Structure 1
């Protein structure tokens, strides 16, 4: 083989290896699955900063009623303490939001997720020390 062909092959192989190494580094560095595993709190940590909201029974917009309870995860102990002190405001907020909804708004997974997200946003507007990370519906009955 000619010397020029051998040099070209070496350069191409080196370039391919460098590109493969770069691609591997990028995939490992920016993979969101790796980030979430490191940052996810344990269940014990979640429970330490969570508050149970007692069951609320209220009328919906269409004259049906709902019995619903929540568990609210905050981002720390100070936020949990503030949330506990604001329990009457949170319950008022939840009753107000539910009174504007119809039973069909709460149906299915999408309806529940929308309510959880809406509650999170509204409660965070009240909070001054920390924030609500997640709202979980722990039980509900529509009648």
Structure 2
């Protein structure tokens, strides 16, 4: 019995070492899965400014609003700059469906940013929108 225990123990240790080495190799070559946050310079380099837009809301009131749209690459930024007329159209279309109450609180603005991100991504071919920032906001 003693020899059987030694063989089992050696086999178990060997399997454990192989698994540990495999885990280290996998983590080394694939990274740990965490995406490093971009620096401020990287965000600016891949962002498009949408100048102030003044438009009517669904109830007849109006809004003045501007955005900075962060793309996932400089190629995507270049495409977005070429598609500025489409992006403005999407923004005006989305705003025209909203009422002043839709902007109440943080959640209202987050919903708008999420919808804009989704709609703009539908027209993009060379990249995608990472984040939409509201840079000015006046509701009257």
> Which category describes the TM-score, using the shorter chain as reference length?
0.7 to 0.9
Which secondary structure does the structure 1 equivalent of 2:110 belong to? helix
Which secondary structure does the structure 2 equivalent of 1:130 belong to? coil
Q: CA deviation at 1:108?
A: 1.2
Aligned to 1:79: 76
Q: CA RMSD in A?
A: 1.4
Aligned mates of 1:71, 1:111 — CA distance in 2: 18
Does 1:114 find its partner at 2:106?
Answer: no
Does 1:134 find its partner at 2:131?
Answer: yes
Aligned to 1:57: 54
Aligned to 2:93: 96
Does 1:43 find its partner at 2:7?
Answer: no
Which secondary structure does the structure 2 equivalent of 1:115 belong to? helix
Once superposed, which parts of structure 1, at least 4 consecutive aligned residues long, lie more than 2 Å away? Answer: none
Unaligned runs of 5+ in 2: 1-26
Q: CA deviation at 1:107?
A: 1.6
Unaligned runs of 5+ in 1: 1-28
Aligned to 1:123: 120
- State the TM-score, normalized to the length of structure 1: 0.74
Deviations 1:19-78 (A, max 9, x none): xxxxxxxxxx9xxxx865x51111111110001101000000011000000000000011
Q: CA deviation at 1:106?
A: 1.2
